[in-house]
Structure 1
């Protein structure tokens, strides 16, 4: 994606929190030579890293992933995703836009990393803080790219003027991600300056997830455990599906005790969460702008049928006839009856919360120890207890028992809890891929054999045409 290195969009930040503290996106053209001098200027430029993600793009990204989950289907132009035979033209174009969004965010991060240390009126402490934030977000973007496209061009602050750049290997991409996050956890503040900004614990948890994907289970366990043992976070207790909708994912929440890294939204046009438009149906009345009901499930699917009726999270799936019969399910996880536009809902996007820390720790500890430890099982049980309306940290009569599980069956248990806990957040497909369970799970749930080409997304033609260091015949992902 060809973007000038001299001009970029900066976003003026009122705040990332509530309705009165709003992240206002107001692009301005700023010349590098006269900017990046003060902390205020660097902060404004840092806010520009979020713009490509906080727009509709991240909701579209999560939806693209969610349509491929074993419990979900896509409607309309998204339907080919649940056929698992590769991407058609509409979805190739859609993921090309996501590629561009991730690289735009990376470009904006690179500008901070390169220019902030040269500022003539900014403290060393502020430089370290903003460079760490930029490196966290650069790592976050590359983490999405490498998991979906594998090897990609590795654009950093050191090669911003290089237009023709060969693909790096996945190992090289992951090496940069780990290096960026290692620096970020050292230099980000102990407490977020504003809700929505990453802080030390955000970096530790993202690094734990990266290690989990790399199958470095001991490292993943230890990083997640640092987050847990910090005692800074806790699960919000619930008793009903409405408690989840209001107290965990509600549109009027400024923050919760679960929040570790969320994309923050508010009820203003183009400043709200687009996922509500994607997931809802006009007949439900849960979102006052109707909805496109793009992703759906079926009550007849094995995944849904095996789900315990007493699990409150199952109550966030509602039967809604969208023209596909009475057994169709839509998620009611995100509700906002006072949104101001299709992209004007107030619900935040919980990218990483305390449940992530608990379940990453549990899976990693089980794999590292060749079976679940008592602490790993306790982490799973905390998530499960909350889902049954029980105090998360108090032992319950029907808790899972460590002795009943091997390393393999415990991993399956954790993956199931992750599917229940994180539905509609785009995590299930990536979980199945990283554990090598995609083909088995899709065959079991839908009777479809997943084509090998479907496991990676196609590199956009715009990148192949512009970047002369890429050979379309050799560098495109298999099958495209």
Structure 2
């Protein structure tokens, strides 16, 4: 069944599309141009945040800066720095690991702006929804929780790529000049927001694509993992596992991964926890297909820019078991760099309607995330692998070989073969295979302190210290007078 085309105001098939619905914020109030010149604060705050429908429309606007092409560009920028990947064209300096050049500095500045625009839209909901005159307290709690989930999500991306950043909240959102908060302060806000989201988001959202209580728990588990609070990460992931609401989709072939797990016509799956939702509409599709594909494969009917690629001669690829079906999602294609080049065929859509009109969703958090967060966190918290941690890892591993994820198999890892260190390394390797092209590998290498060792071993390059963080945009430095361009800029820029 093809994924439904979405009515502009009312999504059919109970599917939520943040970008489509988010535009309602502007269109419902005459025009965006008028909002910019005719007392926008009065129009938006006094007349708009009064009903559940109006607050929902404002909440939808939080997604728009992320869903357009920005989160895809964010993932691609991270992916070009992975040990198994290279960037092509203007992205090539990323795999040189010596810091960002002008083109990529400008690119990540656009991502900074997108994250903060999304945060600004979240702050509007958090501040104004409780003031609505014709909205129930239950709806207020739900939409504020969704806004706080998304605000936490944005700050989680910012703190991991820029470290300390200005904390703009509903309380100071009109202040232009804000100092840079510490990493600890940013994480404190993220955790506080997610705890409120966890308490007030529904178990089952009204629309597919909105975050649930389980999405908040998953993101919180990931945050705890990054903070080194391993027991809390383990326990939060375990809550999601024990809910029995999610399971891995069984597969038997590469095509099953392409169509049953990441397919363009899927509305949802049993493993979906929090995805950015896309559909075959102009400017409402997933841009990653244009980023990753090559015209010669005919897997995406608008060709592709093949921005990210790998090499069959790399240690990562050579060590990867060919019986692992995920490896087949690398397509051998000569893109002018020789016969050893491979590009991803993870996302395909032969019926897309434009370069950014593919129907594939972006699996930001799937059940595999939960299982692998649990496996790593449990082993770190217990100073060694447990039977439960091993089972969580084996479920992901079995599925990759076409086995039933829930049934012991010949490809299972064996508990007695691993200690605390080797088991965590095993989980990290499984994460690299499972989350290929989702921008997670570089962040894993940085958070575990393995980045210099791994890149040196795989590519023979010494990663410069300045490459570990992105530069705060010059526009922010010029705009925000509380920032010192010398003291507050990240090292090396």
TM-score range, shorter chain: over 0.9
What is the Cα deviation at residue 15 of structure 1? 2.9
Aligned counterpart in structure 2 of residue 14 of structure 1, from 2, 10, 14? 10
What is the Cα deviation at residue 35 of structure 1? 1.0
**2:415 matched to 1:402?**
yes
**2:279 matched to 1:266?**
yes
Contact 2:312 2:341 (8 Å CA) reproduced: yes
Query: Kindly tell me: are residues 130 and 13 of structure 1, through their superposed partners in 2, closer, same or farther at Cα, counting changes over 3 Å?
Result: farther
Q: How does 1:74-93 map to 2 (within 5 A)?
A: 74-93=87-106
TM-score where L is the length of structure 2 = 0.94
Contact 2:217 2:237 (8 Å CA) reproduced: yes
**2:487 matched to 1:474?**
yes
Q: Which residue in 2 is equivalent to 1:291?
A: 304
What is the Cα deviation at residue 18 of structure 1? 7.9
- Tell me, what secondary structure is at the counterpart of 1:255? coil
**2:201 matched to 1:188?**
yes
**2:68 matched to 1:47?**
no
- Tell me, what secondary structure is at the counterpart of 1:260? strand
Cα deviation, 1:249-292, whole Å, max 9, x if unaligned, reads: 00000000000000000000000000000000111100000100
Query: Kindly tell me: are residues 21 and 53 of structure 1, through their superposed partners in 2, closer, same or farther at Cα, counting changes over 3 Å?
Result: closer
Separation in 1, partners of 2:16, 2:83: 40
Separation in 2, partners of 1:179, 1:302: 41
Query: Kindly tell me: are residues 400 and 356 of structure 1, through their superposed partners in 2, closer, same or farther at Cα, counting changes over 3 Å?
Result: same
Aligned counterpart in structure 2 of residue 121 of structure 1, from 120, 131, 134? 134
TM-score where L is the length of structure 1 = 0.96
Runs of 4+ in structure 1 deviating by more than 4 angstroms, as ranges, are 16-23
**2:290 matched to 1:277?**
yes
Q: How many residues align?
A: 470
**2:313 matched to 1:300?**
yes
What is the Cα deviation at residue 22 of structure 1? 8.6
- Tell me, what secondary structure is at the counterpart of 1:474? coil
**2:387 matched to 1:374?**
yes
Separation in 1, partners of 2:17, 2:186: 36
Query: Kindly tell me: are residues 250 and 441 of structure 1, through their superposed partners in 2, closer, same or farther at Cα, counting changes over 3 Å?
Result: same
Q: Which residue in 2 is equivalent to 1:58?
A: 71
Q: Which residue in 2 is equivalent to 1:237?
A: 250
Task: Mark the runs of 5 or more structure 1 residues left unpaired by the alignment.
Answer: 1-10
- Tell me, what secondary structure is at the counterpart of 2:383? coil
Contact 1:192 1:198 (8 Å CA) reproduced: yes
What is the Cα deviation at residue 12 of structure 1? 6.6
Q: How does 1:9-408 map to 2 (within 5 A)?
A: 13-15=9-11, 24=20, 25-26=22-23, 28=26, 29=35, 30-408=43-421
Separation in 2, partners of 1:457, 1:21: 30
Q: Which residue in 1 is equivalent to 2:465?
A: 452
Separation in 1, partners of 2:57, 2:303: 35
Q: How does 1:433-448 map to 2 (within 5 A)?
A: 433-448=446-461
- Tell me, what secondary structure is at the counterpart of 2:486? helix
- Tell me, what secondary structure is at the counterpart of 2:84? coil
Task: Mark the runs of 5 or more structure 2 residues left unpaired by the alignment.
Answer: 1-6, 27-34, 36-42
Query: Kindly tell me: are residues 261 and 217 of structure 1, through their superposed partners in 2, closer, same or farther at Cα, counting changes over 3 Å?
Result: same
